[in-house]
Amino acid sequence: MPAAPVRPLRLGLAMWSHNHWQQSLYGSGCKTGERLARYAEVFDTVEGNTTFYATPAMTTVRKWDAATPDDFRFTFKLPSAITHQHQLSHCDQLLADFFSVMEPVAHKVGIWKIQLPASFGPTALPALEKFLRRLPARLTCGVEVRHPAFFAKGEEEKALNRLLIAHKANRIIMDSRPVFAAPPTSEAVIDAHQKKPQVPVHAIATASYPVIRFIGHPDELSNDPFFANWLARLPLWLSEGKQPYLFIHTPDNNQAPELAIRLYDQLRQQAAQQVTLPEIGLPPSADSTQFQLL
């Protein structure tokens, strides 16, 4: 299998399997079981949201490992039973069981993602500190918070950032500005408005692998004013030796591959003086005309 080029910045999508990508990312002859391998020929990371809802079978985990090259990196979410039901407390056995199942692909996990509910506020920071302290030091993790106090630039947010810096944990940054700028005139946008958090964007790197989740506008060009901020911030992080993870979503994710490559090309040109980012693109057989490709 051809390996995706090693890049100073990792680029990926919210998933690796999506029916709409059959004629763009996969090609018409691609079977469902081959989608991850085809995805990994273009992108070198992915959001592994499936583990948030249920722990997979170990046979499935082995297939994920076999389908991807050595330099591919997953970013699996910890199960909701750990992050939402137990809110990081009294869950040692749950965590051990999860890591045991995920062991066949653990060497390809770039970041273990800890997505916390909006109810997880400043008074719960001791639980987060205890949890991070008990994680094996070899693991790289990212923390996504949603409580308003952690976006108010007050003492509570400062305490969170200090905690993440102390434990070399990356703060996951949700940029949902583009999708919330879209009028709720389609089912996909309405659904995104209901499910995605509308929180301020605080572009802070608390460790070496900052994570950006960019929730795009359904209109291609409407994303550019929002991505302009990242055209300035990402080259700065790259020049500091950090390796950002950039994940691109759209409301229905139908055109997410095309949008990801288009925005990446803007970044590649903007960052040319600081770092060389290799050119990437969809397969030559891709049949998509809504977005401009490389």
DSSP secondary structure, 14-28, as one string: S-S--GGGGGTTT-T
The percent of the chain in helix, strand and coil, each rounded to the nearest 5, is: 45, 15, 45
> What local confidence, expressed as pLDDT, does residue 283 receive?
82
> What pLDDT, in 10s, does the model give residues 66-113?
999 999 999 999 999 999 999 999 999 999 999 999 999 999 999 999
Cβ neighbours, 10 Å, residue 268: 19
> What local confidence, expressed as pLDDT, does residue 52 receive?
95
Please give the DSSP secondary-structure letter assigned to residue 109: B
Q: How confident is residue 285, by pLDDT bands cut at 50, 70 and 90? A: low
Cβ neighbours, 10 Å, residue 248: 27
> What local confidence, expressed as pLDDT, does residue 294 receive?
28
> What local confidence, expressed as pLDDT, does residue 142 receive?
98
Q: Tell me, what amino acid is at 84?
A: H
> What local confidence, expressed as pLDDT, does residue 74 receive?
98
Q: Taking residues 13-32, report their average pLDDT.
A: 92
pTM for the whole thing? 0.93
pLDDT at 193 over 70: yes
pLDDT at 3 over 60: no
Placement of tokens 């994303």 in the chain: 223
Residues 6+ apart with CB under 8 A from 190: 184
> What local confidence, expressed as pLDDT, does residue 6 receive?
56
> What local confidence, expressed as pLDDT, does residue 291 receive?
39
pLDDT at 288 over 80: no
Q: Which of 73-82, 156-165, 229-238, 283-292 has the lowest mean pLDDT?
A: 283-292
Compute the chain's Rg from CA coordinates: 19
pLDDT at 229 over 80: yes
> What local confidence, expressed as pLDDT, does residue 274 receive?
82
* 10-270 homologous superfamily: Protein of unknown function UPF0759 (3.20.20.410)
> What local confidence, expressed as pLDDT, does residue 5 receive?
52
Q: Tell me, what amino acid is at 108?
A: K
Q: Which of 194, 202, 209 is nearest to 247 (CA)?
A: 209
